[in-house]
Amino acid sequence: MTLKRCAFLALGMLVLAGLSFCFAPAAAQSSPRLLSIVKRIYPVPHTKAPLEKDLNAYLLVYFKDETHSIYLATSTDGYTFSDVNGGNPVLLGKDIAEQKGVRDPHMMRGPDNAFYLSMTDLHIFGQKEGFRTTEWQRPGDQYGWGNNRALVLMKSYDLIHWTHAIVRIDQLFPSLDIGCAWAPETIFDPVKKKLMVYFTTRIGAGPNFMVYSYANDAFTTLETEPRRLFTYPKDNVNTIDGDITKVGDTYHLFYVAHDKPGNIRHAASNKINEGYVYEPQKIDPESVGAEAPNLWRRNGTDTYVLMYDVFGANPHNMGFSETTDFLHYKNLGRFNEGGSPMKTTNFSGPKHGAVMSITVDELRRLRGYFNQ
């Protein structure tokens, strides 16, 4: 073979290789990561809930109306929060809910060092999105606006791998004829040594009120018939979105009353599930509608932050107030608004969320998972 022919063949091979490269199909872009749903989880041996001095970070769980899905954001100072998944959901409502959408997430740490995540199984745009043919899951004249019948309960030991259960309240307690099951939250009852799940419900299309029940250890169902948590002095006023925090020997209940004035109210008791004393004053500083109160403590201090969903703002936003005595509240404003110390870096429009304290190691594990 002559040198000239060899050169010609070599050139031809390079051209073909180049054409092959040009026309090779592009690699598919990977979708944003999601938390892992598994059948079983296992506690880490010889671990307990972290000491207070080790809680140096914060975790915010929230949802968005646009997706009816769950998001997570973290902070190291309790003022500036960054979404761990670049503003993308970490759990898709269509994957985990009977109604193909979720709302009102809440997360807490149990004494077993497990994380407990609860949310409302409800898609308010389900008909528009093609998930059902009717406006609501059941007739609105019988069961009211936003009627649903299930909660979603999830449990994890590492914030990454979660068990999952759709809990049909109507099937567990058919005699109640519930119109809704909204905004579940969880707190540990030190007397019964059980997780107490409390949420908003109603009988048929009647006024909303708050109830409590006790979950099984696996956090896959409720074991006791729901009982009323708090009685508002006016029977016809809706009370929703309860949030309970124990400070010292006192349980502080923040909730929403659809009264005049409305928005956020406070009641206190020395018992976890009864004896809450009505207080008439409105707590939040907002002149527009606010709901979904959530109380969390600034790590290492006696200062508590009350967060709430200012749904009446356009665009909607989270608002914040601080207190040390549950009598006086300092208005911190809303996320990213002028004069407010509360910031987000890579997301906007969070709705009905909750903040809990985590360790720096837990923060790094969560961020590392989504940054792989």
The per-residue pLDDT for range 170-212, each reduced to its tens digit, is 999 999 999 999 999 999 999 999 999 999 999 999 999 999 9
pLDDT at 301 over 70: yes
The pTM of the full predicted model, rounded to 2 decimals, is: 0.91
CATH number of the domain encompassing residue 222: 2.115.10.20
Asked whether the predicted pLDDT for residue 16 surpasses 50, the reply is no
The residues with which 63 forms a beta bridge, in sequence order, are 70, 351
Identify whether 8 is part of a domain. no
Across 9-23, 46-60, 94-108, 127-141, least confident range: 9-23
Determine how β-strand 351-358 pairs with β-strand 57-64. Answer: antiparallel
Give the strands of the sheet with 264-269, arranged side by side. 239-247, 250-257, 264-269, 277-278
Whether the per-residue pLDDT at 242 is higher than 50: the answer is yes
In the block, which residue shows the tokens 């074991």?
223
The per-residue pLDDT of the chain, averaged, comes to 92
Q: Reply yes or no on whether the pLDDT at 5 is more than 60.
A: no
pLDDT in tens, 33-47: 999 999 999 988 877
In the chain, % helix, strand, coil (3-state, to 5) comes to 15, 40, 50
Establish if 50 belongs to a structural domain: yes
pLDDT of residue 46: 76
Whether 10 has a pLDDT exceeding 90, the answer reads no
Strand, coil or helix: what is 91? strand
Q: What is the pLDDT of residue 30?
A: 63
CB 85 within 8 A of CB 369: no
CA distance 20 to 236: 73
Domain tally for the chain? 1
Q: Is there a domain that residue 70 lies in?
A: yes
Region of residue 294 (left: phi > 0; alpha: psi -120 to 50; beta: else)? beta
Structural element, H or E, at residue 266 = strand 264-269
Q: What residue has token string 């029940």?
A: 213
238 lies in a domain? yes
The residue that leads in pLDDT, 28 or 288, is: 288
> Is the residue at 98 inside a domain?
yes
What are 161's two structure tokens? 């791998």
- Rounded CA separation 115/124 (Å): 27
Q: Using a CB cutoff of 8 Å and minimum separation of 24, what contacts does 22-25 make?
A: none
Question: Which pLDDT score, from 0 to 100, does residue 12 have?
Answer: 44
Side chain identity at residue 294, one-letter code:
N
pLDDT at 266 over 70: yes
Residue range 162-166: average pLDDT? 98
Please report whether residue 15 resides in a domain.
no
Is-contact 138 112, C-beta < 8 A?
A: no
Reply yes or no on whether the pLDDT at 8 is more than 90.
Answer: no
Q: Is 166's pLDDT higher than 90?
A: yes
pLDDT at 94 over 60: yes
Q: Is the pLDDT of residue 22 over 90?
A: no
**Secondary structure letter of residue 172 according to DSSP:** H
* Percent share of the chain, pLDDT over 90: 88
The reply to whether 244 falls in a domain is yes
pLDDT of residue 18: 41
**131 inside domain:** yes
In this prediction, residues 338-362 reach a mean pLDDT of 97
Residue range(s) defining the domain that contains residue 119: 31-370
